Amino acid sequence: MIRRTQAERSDATTSKLVAAAQQLFGRDGYAATTIGAVATVAGMTKGAAYHHFLNKATLFREVFIREQEEISAALLSAAAQEPDPWAALLRGCQTFLEHCLDPGFRQIVLLDGPAVLGWEAVREIQRDHTLRVLTEGVRAVTADGGDPGIRSQLIFGALCEAGMLLARSGDPRGDLPAVVTEAARLLSSLSLEPHRT
Amino acid sequence: MIRRTQAERSDATTSKLVAAAQQLFGRDGYAATTIGAVATVAGMTKGAAYHHFLNKATLFREVFIREQEEISAALLSAAAQEPDPWAALLRGCQTFLEHCLDPGFRQIVLLDGPAVLGWEAVREIQRDHTLRVLTEGVRAVTADGGDPGIRSQLIFGALCEAGMLLARSGDPRGDLPAVVTEAARLLSSLSLEPHRT
DNA sequence: TCACTTCCATACCGAGGGTATGTAACTTTT
DNA sequence: AAAAGTTACATACCCTCGGTATGGAAGTGA
């Protein structure tokens, strides 16, 4: 190993650790993944992991953020291809649902995330990523003075549920259009008068 | 202790165990709750717990089912007071959201449930309780030929999210009407033509 | 009453999260 | 450039806790 600066060494090992953790957490789930296994996959020992991360949850948090960055980038690039706000919103929802077909994403973001980090912490992170993109899209198509924050949060919940539902399907790709249609139906309520109290 | 039959002994201890587990799982979460602590609260030792339950997850599953039974009973009795299907549906949603103000319910059903039991198992249980009630309500107000199963599942996701959102609020009771209004807006989409594809 | 089963306690094992300590690699100071 | 100090990582260890094995007490069927 040639001479490297400390920052380079540190960055390299943390990157390898997060990558390994993302793989194992996504495949086996948080509880069934040991720090030792992560370190081994990353090519080092437990000590290195505990030098860079306070504990298991902190490492998981880093993986969670990484997942968020990945999906929000995908959402933005997908939505950017549609000039019409409505089309962009629908396109974004479809992209999200497609992303839910990845088992690792589901395990880390939808299943373990809230249990490990807590609901508040999870949504706090997502407020800067997925939820932020969705809220922008919702705001663009909302006419009346309702709260886009609350509204997009509910839509988000429905989309997460749809993602899990889709993944459970025997033919996810084939059922995707039907689920997207139902999601679109929910979205269509955004441009409506309130129903009844 | 006077003479008791085996079934009575067994039922009494399992009941005490489940009650203690419900309390601790709800307050501290699944990971932070030890079987020993549950047994102590229930007034016995770990051995008793492992005699009646295969493992920690099995005990949790029993608690989860108990929570489901409690809320579905509340939903049914609330909805039964409204003759109009629309009013019954809205009333049910409001009851669900009020139930989400209980931290134990949130922790067990919304946070730990999916991570511990898996999404499929959780929804399988809920299919006989919460989800079943909701699906009936949705079916009653749905005119067109869309799939009420998928539809109610998405609504369910939105409601769970709304419940967590509400709980996070500084003034849950005061914000409840606003969230119910937003939920009603989503529900109103059920009686609509599909928007766009 | 005597075998048999069920219930529960006690004692123990092993995995794994976390810590303490040592050593090698880099950085700063003089 | 060499010593002093700091950072990066490995090794060894502790301790909690899920799960098991074993033993005895309470109940059941003959």
Taking the stretch 20-39 of protein chain B, residues with Cβ within 7 Å of any atom in nucleic acid chain D are 33-36
Question: Minimal Cα distance from A196: which residue of B?
Answer: B184
Distance A40 CA to C20 C1' (A): 21
The reply to whether residue A186 touches residue B29, judged by beta carbons under 8 angstroms, is no
Return d(Cα A164, Cα B66) in angstroms, integer: 24
Whether the per-residue pLDDT at B184 is higher than 50: the answer is yes
- What is the 3-class SS of B182-194, one letter each residue? HHHHHHHHHHCCC
Over residues B111-119, the mean pLDDT reads 98
What digits encode the pLDDT tens for the residues B134-170?
A: 999 999 888 766 788 889 999 999 999 999 999 999 9
pTM over 0.75: yes
pLDDT tier for residue A145 given thresholds of 50, 70 and 90: low
- Which of A88-97, A111-120, A141-150, B52-61 has the weakest average pLDDT? A141-150
Rounded to 5, what percent of chain B is helix, strand, coil?
80, 0, 20
Whether the per-residue pLDDT at A136 is higher than 80: the answer is yes
Say if CB A139 and CB A148 are below 8 A apart.
yes
The reply to whether residue A181 touches residue B160, judged by beta carbons under 8 angstroms, is no
The reply to whether residue A115 touches residue B120, judged by beta carbons under 8 angstroms, is no
Return d(Cα A54, Cα B1) in angstroms, integer: 50
Whether the per-residue pLDDT at B3 is higher than 70: the answer is no
* CB < 8 Å to A107, chain B: none
Phi, psi of B130 (to 5 degrees): -55, -50
Q: Which residues, at least 6 apart from B15, have a Cβ–Cβ distance to it below 8 Å?
A: none
Nearest in space to B120 (alpha carbons), one of A170, A158, A175: A170
Phi, psi of A53 (to 5 degrees): -130, 140
Task: Tell me which nucleotides of strand D come within 7 A of a protein CB.
Answer: 7-12, 16-22, 26-28
Whether the per-residue pLDDT at B56 is higher than 60: the answer is yes
3-state secondary structure of A83: coil
